[in-house]
Amino acid sequence: MIDRRLARLGAALSFLVSLLALRPLEARSGSQAPVAVAEAPACSKIWLGREAEIEELMRTSEVTKIVDVPIGVTKPKRAFVREGPPFQSMAWKPLRPGLYSGYWESYKSEIAAWEIDKLVGLGMVPPAVERRLQSDLGAVILWVENVKGWSIKEPARGPDLEAWNRQVSKMKMFDQLIGNIDRNQGNLLYDGEYHLILIDHSRAFTGEKNLNRMAKPTRIDRELWEKMSALTLEQLQPALGRLIGKGEIRAIIERRDRMRRAIEALVAEKGEATVFYP
């Protein structure tokens, strides 16, 4: 009981911090000029269109060294691979399921986030697969190169404000679906074309159903919402059954249904043309 109370208190504090961090995300006309990513190639999402290939290489590529990463609350490591694959390294998270500083966390949630990303066609979460390294079982997550971390002092906007805001809305929709209470500037990246990349989902996929614990989207991407609306327990179980429990899978559907009611209320208030992106 005490652990659960601590978890709820920690989650509430995290949500308040997350809201403050996310307030500058959505841009408005006339806001601060875009912040350039120096010397970055156009798109860092090398996995798009070759997801299965990248997954297999992440499972099988020879790891030559593993080093500590000096940032990150969950203390991830970086695993470098022998030359050959189209990537140089992977984040390594052997985070066993359990309570950490009042939060339920698990490396399996990182993989579940990737699986959901594929199901709904989000294209923002880097590939993640299960692998054993140094006798520990955990998640290896593609280390995305040539990206820049989010900065509140110098918030990114991109040259196309509508496209940027649409990405932010999709991120918020995704976080509500998976119950991610820990979205903050430390787990947001963007590349040279201002493509948003989402990392660190170890605190997602609990039984949390209260959408007020996550940032609310004020506009909705229709294509993404249609795919979320189509999700069923029968579809989620094969993809997630080895990673999270049945209760947590049912919570995804419950959150989705609550999202539907919230969107319907928003449409009733503002009109469909205002709520949905064209």
For residues 182 and 199, the answer to whether their CB atoms sit within 8 Å is no
pLDDT the model gives residue 154: 78
Residue 213 DSSP label: G
Which tokens hold the place of 78?
């970086």
CA distances 64 to 55, 82, 107, 133, 144, Å, are 18, 6, 22, 11, 18
Which tokens hold the place of 169?
């809305």
Distance of alpha carbon 127 from alpha carbon 143, whole angstroms: 9
Cβ count near 9 (within 10 Å): 11
For residues 94 and 137, the answer to whether their CB atoms sit within 8 Å is yes
Q: How far is CA 37 from the centre of its chain?
A: 21
> Where in the chain are the domains?
2-275
Tell me the whole-structure pTM to 2 decimals: 0.86
Distance of alpha carbon 194 from alpha carbon 148, whole angstroms: 10
pLDDT the model gives residue 50: 97
pLDDT the model gives residue 14: 46
pLDDT the model gives residue 167: 97
For residues 179 and 240, the answer to whether their CB atoms sit within 8 Å is no
User: Which phi and psi angles does 220 have, rounded to 5°?
Assistant: -125, 135
pLDDT the model gives residue 212: 95
Helical H segments across the chain, by residue range: 2-22, 51-60, 107-120, 161-178, 222-229, 233-240, 246-270, 272-275
Find, among 6, 21, 5, 3, the residue nearest to 215 by Cα.
21
Measure the N-to-C terminal CA separation of the chain; round to a whole number of Å.
47
Distance of alpha carbon 222 from alpha carbon 277, whole angstroms: 7
How many residues does the structure list for the chain? 278
Distance of alpha carbon 162 from alpha carbon 135, whole angstroms: 47
pLDDT per residue as tens, the chain (278 positions): 434 444 444 444 444 444 444 545 555 433 333 334 444 457 999 999 999 999 999 999 999 999 999 876 777 899 999 988 899 999 999 999 999 989 999 999 999 999 999 999 999 999 999 999 999 999 999 999 999 998 878 778 888 999 999 999 999 999 999 999 999 988 999 999 999 999 999 999 999 999 999 999 999 999 999 999 999 999 999 999 999 999 999 999 999 999 999 999 999 999 999 999 99
Which tokens hold the place of 27?
């841009």
